[in-house]
Amino acid sequence: MGIEKNIIITGAYGFIGSCLVSYLNQKSFTNLILVDDFAFDEKKEKNLTNKKYLHRIERENLFIWLQTNQPKIDFLFHLGARTDTTEFDYTIHQKLNVDYSKSIWNYCTQNNIPLVYASSAATYGSGEFAYDDNHEVIEKLLPLNPYGISKNEFDKWVIKQTTSPQPSPNGEGAKAPPFWAGLKFFNVYGPNEYHKARMASVIFHSFNQIQQNGKVNLFKSHKQGFTDGNQLRDFVYVKDVVSVCFWLLTIHLSPFTNGLYNLGTGTARAFNDLTKATFAGLDLQPNIEYIDMPLDIRDKYQYFTEAKMHKLISAGYNKPFYSLEEGVEDYVRNYLSKNLYH
């Protein structure tokens, strides 16, 4: 018997969204309304195989469907976005990552629905402000690509909504949902990213390179202070990401400070470490070669990311995160090696 709580998940056909559907099903939540561009994709379709949900709604039809059917919605996870950091046509990001997100926010505000949405560590650019999820720095951030810019533009708009004059005591004039959190995802990896092509995680690409030719190509460093393969990122396993999402669902009636929250592990690790862990998951010795970074991303590349996690932990999330080695081993042995989905 499923839990009768109606939950909308945008981006449900994709990587993190489908993993959240799986996690919620495991927790007996089946009244799920999945939203995405469901143009058939064999690999994406497998993301939802055997998942339980009520409806699939095309992204473009969501608000018409909501207006027509007037469903009671208890919670909304907005994970859908154009996530391609190599897409330089900003109008695409503006439409999907800013304008559509504003419509989601306004719907939740008008209907008193708790909201969790996906922001991104791409908003931090080169990290001049130390990957700090303090609202005071949002206006100062300098993202390196149109994707990061769009995510930051929405974050800035959100903060303006929540810092404007307060609504009247009866709730009229509210400009924010009753409960909300914007999660700044760092480098998420894990099952159900088979469809992501170039934008899939380095673990995914490393696994495939090992299968094909027994070695892994990593980018050379083109920045002083970083040796080849020792560019540092905060890699977070998707199982931790959906665990945090579920925690927010369960606490939304409790005292909580609405706001932006980093979601990484809090520990930066080298691409060399990640690749060695991938080889270890296959019981092989590392074999790494270094290649030039493509020119189209060279000047927009983040050499270091590391989430400051004190804010989320202070808010009450106390479950330990997978270490890089633990997460990669689980991913490689239990999913990639068996071509399985979560």
Active site residues: 147, 196
Asked if 31 and 52 touch (Cβ cutoff 8 Å), the reply is no
Q: Is 201 helix (H, G, I), strand (E, B) or coil?
A: coil
What whole-number distance in Å separates Cα of residue 226 and Cα of residue 233? 12
Token pair recorded at residue 157: 């708009």
Asked if 31 and 5 touch (Cβ cutoff 8 Å), the reply is yes
Residue 76 C-alpha from the chain's centroid: 15
Whose tokens are 């497998």? That residue is 46
* Helix, strand, coil abundance in the chain, percent, nearest 5: 40, 15, 40
What whole-number distance in Å separates Cα of residue 159 and Cα of residue 140? 13
Q: 233 - beta bridge partners? A: 269
Provide the b/e sequence for 160-192 (b: ≥16 CB within 10 Å): ebeeeeeeeeeeeeebbbbbbbbbbbbbbbbbb
> Under 8 Å CB-to-CB from 236, ≥6 apart: which residues?
185, 186, 187, 188, 189, 263, 264, 265, 307, 321, 327
